A and B are shown apart, each in its own frame.
Chain A
């Protein structure tokens, strides 16, 4: 600001007026750093009065020394105009008064006509609000990023951990149409990508109509309370199959409490749901099967007592008593057998089914089993025809193997009552086969594997009694003996159950 000699005074007055009234905070420093002047705007900005900082010297201010402002001041003393980038200055730290502000400043050297610097004029711009917004933006962006990053890490870890399992991962930005889900989720939903675009709309269509309200309410409730959620629901896959899935989800929220990102998992829980259903059915069947013979025993014995009290002579005759005792024993052994089956199941499940093997001549063994079973066969009007092979010595658990044969015979009687049962023993070069053929309705192709599973049966429980455990137990025993058991059957043409044992 070089002044012309003749107008110097006029100019100084003008400058003073401008300096005082300017909306820009301004200060004048001497070249030794003493504060000479500060305007009104400057006082307002720092919320102090210039009289309170009259002793101030900028070169003795620790906040300024050795920083970019100090550098700027030194440059200005050499005659340069200096623009300072935004900096924070807190007068509390230097003069114990006022408030801290963010400033963008210019330093102008004031020179005499010889070009010597006489004073330094500093003009400030208060950028505190702008900076605060920016800081907040940076901060919220950083926080959100960190939260998203955290979620992403969880999701990545999860997806690594569950790659072999059944858990799929999904991600959605609320308000958008597109949902991201991984390969596992895609498999769970049974989605062929082209058939099922990854959109909110197609997701809604996947959810079973009866479960849509549940899913919608669960998610909206979780979002309202900013908590995670878990919901079990059915989906109708693109292949038409209905599966049970468990979906979990969690969201990231912005400072207006709106969800900005949602992600979660999806897991196929059909097997678990069905296992529970099967167990419930089993309990119901077991109850029915155990209570039915109990009902007979109770009725029978109460009748006996009634008749005796009445003094009827008929029930006391030996033949009648023998008949009644026989029925009682039959029902008791039925109850006992059911309990044994249930115990075997729990032993199999615990891997505690014990085998005591001994050397047995298999042909004679089969004949003995058949003889022992004869009364039961005759009681339903059937008979057994059998054809045995030459003697063959085998290492087996006779008790458990008899259980298998009896299971097959019981089945043959259940389904082919009143008709003959054919039993054949065949010896090949490396194995012995027992064939049990009945003339019942046969087993449908699609049921031939299933009937060896736990709690399964070829027909509904109403038709045939039993727990549906017989063939499952038989299969486990045969497996332990390294053999095979399967059914060969034509629907309507009877069934042939084959037990093959290596020797």
Chain B
């Protein structure tokens, strides 16, 4: 079965590269540029098996998105992998119940291993 991954990332280069990477690994990929777009995707489409999200984003950031996900019973169970280039994001994300946190810059092997593990 093809697993669906939702990528939420505001930096267009990173977003496109992640998309290309996951497609090449036979994942089905949907993307969003920020939290609000991610919520739209979730409302409109079949739910993903995992959400790979950045934390520092405009409109609705990763923390805000995670809070929204927790409010909905069928969204709260989707595993979330957070990543960030923020200096103290690892501490800040504690208590948000994410499956994993990746500190940017992160390499391809780590991304693939983490997604494989939690999706």
The answer to whether A and B belong to the same complex is yes
Chain A residues in the interface with B (C-beta under 8 A): 283-284, 287-292, 294-300, 302-303, 306-307, 327, 331, 461-464
With beta carbons under 8 angstroms apart, the residue of A291, A306, A327 that contacts B105 is A291
- Return chain B residues, CB-CB under 8 Å to A291: 85, 104-105
Asked whether any CB of chain A lies closer than 8 Å to the CB of B106, the reply is: yes
Could you mark each residue 66-102 of chain B with 1 if its beta carbon is under 8 Å from any beta carbon of chain A, else 0?
Answer: 0000000000000000001111100000000000000
A328 to nearest B CB, angstroms? 10
Contact (Cβ within 8 A) A292 B104: yes
Nearest CB of chain A from residue B35's CB, rounded to whole Å: 10
Contact pick for B86, options A287, A294, A295, CB 8 Å? A287
Contact indicator A462/B107 (Cβ below 8 Å): no
Query: Top 6 closest A-B pairs, CB basis?
Result: A291-B85, A299-B17, A296-B13, A295-B105, A284-B87, A302-B108
Give chain B residues whose Cβ lies under 8 Å from the Cβ of A464: 58
Known: A296-B17, A300-B17, A327-B13. A288 touches B56 (CB 8 A): yes
User: Which A residues are CB-close (under 8 A) to B18?
Assistant: 299
Shortest Cβ distance from A300 into B: residue: B17
A299 touches B108 (CB 8 A): yes
Quick one: which of B21, B61, B88 contacts A299, CB cutoff 8 A?
B21
Q: Whole-angstrom distance from the CB of A490 to the nearest CB of chain B?
A: 23
Which residues of A lie under 8 Å from residue B44 when comparing CB positions?
Answer: none
Other A-B contacts than A284-B86, A292-B11, 13 sampled, CB-CB below 8 A, are A288-B56, A288-B86, A290-B85, A291-B104, A291-B105, A295-B104, A298-B105, A299-B17, A300-B13, A303-B21, A306-B24, A331-B13, A462-B56
**Total interface residues in chain B, CB < 8 Å:** 22
Complex interface: chain B residues within 8 A of A302 (CB): 107-108
The distance from the CB of B52 to the nearest CB of chain A, in whole angstroms, is 13
A289: chain B residues within 8 A (beta carbon): 85
- Known contacts A291-B105, A302-B108, A303-B20, A296 near B87 by CB under 8 Å: no
Within the assembled complex, what's the spacing in Å between the Cα atoms of A502 and B88? Answer: 46
CA A289 – CA B56 in complex, angstroms? 11
Point out the residues of chain B lying under 8 angstroms from A294, CB to CB. 104-105
Q: Answer whether A292 and B14 are a contact pair too, CB < 8 Å, given A284-B87, A298-B105, A303-B108.
A: yes
Whole-angstrom distance from the CB of B73 to the nearest CB of chain A? 28
A457 → B minimal CB distance (Å): 13
Provide a sorted-by-A list of 15 A–B residue pairs whose CB atoms are within 8 angstroms.
A288-B86, A290-B85, A292-B104, A294-B104, A294-B105, A295-B85, A296-B13, A296-B14, A299-B21, A300-B13, A327-B13, A331-B13, A462-B56, A462-B61, A463-B58
Output the nearest chain B residue to A296 by Cβ-Cβ distance. Answer: B13
Q: How far is the CA of A294 from the CA of B107 in the complex (A)?
A: 11
One digit per residue, 1 when the CB lies within 8 angstroms of any chain A CB and 0 when it does not, for chain B 47-68 equals: 0000000001110010000000
- CB contacts (< 8 Å) of B61 on chain A: these are 462
- Pick from A284, A287, A303, A462: contact of B17, CB below 8 A: A303
In the complex, which of the residues B13, B20, B87, B108 contacts A287, with contact meaning CB atoms closer than 8 Å? Answer: B87
Cα separation A498 to B56 with both chains bound (whole Å): 32
Q: Which residue of B lies closest to A280 (CB)?
A: B87
Q: B13-40: which have CB < 8 Å to A?
A: 13-14, 17-18, 20-21, 24
Query: Using Cβ atoms and an 8 Å threshold, which residues of chain A touch B57?
Result: 462
> Which A residues are in CB contact (< 8 Å) with B17?
296, 299-300, 303
Report whether B58 and A462 are in contact in the complex, using a CB–CB cutoff of 8 Å: yes
Contact of A284 among B20, B24, B58, B88 (CB under 8 A): B88
On whether A461 and B108 interact (CB within 8 A), knowing A288-B85, A291-B85, A296-B13, the answer reads no
B13 neighbours in A (Cβ, 8 Å): 296, 300, 327, 331
Judging by beta carbons under 8 Å apart, are A306 and B14 in contact? no
Interface centre among A283, A295, A302 (most CB of B within 10 A): A295
B contact residues around A283 at 8 Å (CB): 87
Q: How far is the CA of A331 from the CA of B26 in the complex (A)?
A: 28
**Minimum C-beta distance from A460 to chain B (A):** 9
Contacts of A331 in B (CB 8 A): 13
Contact A292 B85 (CB under 8 A): yes
Q: Is the CB of B108 within 8 A of A295?
A: no
Residues of B within 8 A of A288 (CB): 56, 84-87
Cα distance A464–B104 in the bound complex, in angstroms: 19
> Which residues on A sit within 8 Å (CB–CB) of B11?
292, 295-296
Q: Complex: how many Å from CA A307 to CA B13? A: 18
Which residues of chain B are near A296, meaning CB under 8 Å?
A: 11, 13-14, 17
Pick the most buried of A283, A299, A302: most chain B CB atoms within 10 A of its CB.
A299
Q: How far is the CA of A287 from the CA of B14 in the complex (A)?
A: 16
List A contacts of B108 (CB < 8 A).
299, 302-303, 306
In the complex, the chain B residue whose C-beta lies closest to that of A294 is B105
The CA of A284 and the CA of B14, in the complex, are separated in Å by 20
Chain A proximity of B116: nearest CB distance (Å): 15
Residues of chain A with a CB closer than 8 A to B104's CB: 291-292, 294-295
Q: Are B85 and A287 in contact (CB under 8 A)?
A: yes
